[in-house]
Structure 1
């Protein structure tokens, strides 16, 4: 794991600046927070409302800025640490789930040196913080012997924190509830502890309370400052428009054209909520006029969640088929193969974690199909998929070893019986 962190630090000087607009904007918001100007940004004239950016990353950078100068290099160090700690917690979860070190070692090796995850950790993107929240959530689920209300509240707090990094992290809720239901079924049979239905209701209430604890400070701030109910960001409309317009495709494109009329309306918007409403209006207009095309586009984007996308972490020049793109593609295919085969191997012994992974991925595919479905948004889940796959293979091999041990014991007992008869 320390080698994975070291290589991240060594690569940072090779990418000293920011390559994408969002990286600049998150850094700008953090610098404005440090300067006492509040949660604001100048943007590019049209994209100028900071409320359209999730708050967790700028506040994390601002906290770092109290200790160290907030430069591009130091910002990349923060993102590298967020990504690395996420993989550390997933590795710890693998140890708890497999009772063996080799699945954890494979998780640390392949997740720590995953090319796309490695490159993403050098960018100023909130997905690095989301990876940390995924690692914490899975580790918190794996370490508990029993489902407790306090533990469920902690799960809700971690989901809320992840949603403050990336709002679509809220899609983890159905997966966690599935985990509660399946685990409740097992525990109910063993100890009559709780019925699955009661556990689901208790779990839903605990997740709501935990999420509210995390989100409430930001929610209260937006009620007074933005004069609106905004639990995470005011970006849903913009994301919906990016995913549904005449230029959108399976990969949703890297460029989205806006009519002169729409640009004028966006410039006239006085608040982030009105800015979001303009996007909703034009997107819904296109959907109503092109319902069949919109339905087809939704289906394509649903499938796109499960494939690579070469328009995510590369510049336009690198998207023409460079070696780095093919490395990312092969890495993505490898992750999916490991996860699917490992979960299939684990299924006969335990259905809880394969169902958790399946529901988590399907919920994200379903939700992202309404907005933007890019590989960059699936990327924080790939270390988790690797962990699930390796743990599944570990459980299967341990089961085979136990069968072999039982067989050898039976043969030894039979041989001992023959000697006794003689």
Structure 2
């Protein structure tokens, strides 16, 4: 086989393996659920909410669920994806799972693209291969949860940011820089539409843009302005819609307050336990906006009065975030814990080694390590779990591939990482 065609065929093979694993899991999970009539979803609460929101979109109904109606409960990104799948294959759980399985294959391809852009094709292929066989990534891709779709949106935004970073600051590239800046703003907003905790990445990117300008502050200002404009314009429909239904400026959702209180309250353990919401029934006397503000105030006040417990909770949340095996009781079987740990621990160690040998390559470290550290810090405040780490593992696998290539360089094509 010609040398130039090998990467192409290897990539196709990796993507086929990825699709087969995920489709097989979709069949297995659906059969397991069909044998348990009392269960509809693997993870009930969130999955049911996303599914019902998607149905409101398909049926042209108001984007809300529950009574009293929750109109700004979830960002619309993932429900829109589910609604698109329902429009094509119908409102059948199994068929929609198969569509989501293919989205997991797309995530593998994006890992390849990002790895190739950051380093070289060999690293991109290895990172995609690791992603394809990851049991957690494969398992979550066929659940009615937003992790894989957010990973896709995040990987696209990271790839665009890498392309933008590599554009020269000179006059000849001024238009190209502006176009890629606008695209960066749009893709960052697209990821934000799936998971609102991605919002803080915007100011971080702007700061890094000025830091990397090195004497081109005016150009950096131009690109930052275009990027922010692209983000804002993309977000306008959601903000306008929220103002129409609540009468308030709401750029994210009105579930942030309860989520914050979930992580900061007298009974908090670091795990999610939303029973307080059903117990308090505050929406019987408050609007959705008032409810969100009420729980935000309650969480802030508790944190102010109990700093010791907050520090204790931060430790528990950090442990839950980085634990090699799942935290949820339904995933605590020995074989599942072993399967997840056997993959994650070597990948993490390889990533640490990859980070060490790449310690001079700032962009590579920002893109691969940055997201997983970012969410680790976010979930020192909110509740924490492997679920919140998972999307950031996709880009981390690129660094694992760097470490693997360095160790077994003779087994792979010895391509040097681009400086």
Asked whether the two chains share a fold, i.e. TM above 0.5, the reply is yes
1:56 to 77, 83, 87: 77
Worse-superposed segment, 374-383 or 334-343: 334-343
Worse-superposed segment, 238-247 or 301-310: 301-310
Q: CA deviation at 1:178?
A: 6.2
TM-score by length of 1: 0.80
2:326 to 310, 317, 327: 310
SS in 1 for 2:213: helix
Instruction: Name the counterpart of 2:285.
Output: 268
In structure 2, C-alpha distance between the alignment counterparts of 1:112 and 1:341, rounded to whole Å: 21
The gaps in structure 2 that reach 5 residues or longer are 1-14, 31-39, 169-176
1:330-365 deviations in Å (ceiling 9; x for gaps): 3332232122211211224x2221134344333322
SS in 2 for 1:246: coil
SS in 2 for 1:67: helix
Distance 1:178 1:329, change over 3 A: farther
In structure 2, C-alpha distance between the alignment counterparts of 1:273 and 1:309, rounded to whole Å: 37
Instruction: Name the counterpart of 1:233.
Output: 253
CA contact (8 A) 2:272 2:383 kept: no
Aligned pairs for 1:250-289 within 5 A: 252-258=270-276, 263-269=280-286, 271-289=287-305
Larger radius of gyration: 1
In structure 1, C-alpha distance between the alignment counterparts of 2:369 and 2:21, rounded to whole Å: 32
Aligned residues: 380
Q: CA deviation at 1:142?
A: 3.8
Distance 1:268 1:130, change over 3 A: same
TM-score by length of 2: 0.81
Distance 1:130 1:235, change over 3 A: same
1:107 to 119, 127, 130: 127
1:94-137 deviations in Å (ceiling 9; x for gaps): 22333333x22211211111111111111111111111112212
CA contact (8 A) 2:181 2:226 kept: yes
SS in 1 for 2:75: coil
Q: CA deviation at 1:259?
A: 8.3
RMSD (Å) for aligned C-alpha atoms? 2.9
2:147 to 127, 131, 134: 127
Q: CA deviation at 1:151?
A: 0.9
Instruction: Name the counterpart of 1:217.
Output: 237
In structure 2, C-alpha distance between the alignment counterparts of 1:253 and 1:211, rounded to whole Å: 32
Q: CA deviation at 1:293?
A: 1.2
Instruction: Name the counterpart of 1:294.
Output: 310
Instruction: Name the counterpart of 1:4.
Output: 18
2:339 maps to 1:327: yes
In structure 2, C-alpha distance between the alignment counterparts of 1:282 and 1:96, rounded to whole Å: 45
Distance 1:183 1:74, change over 3 A: farther
Distance 1:223 1:395, change over 3 A: farther
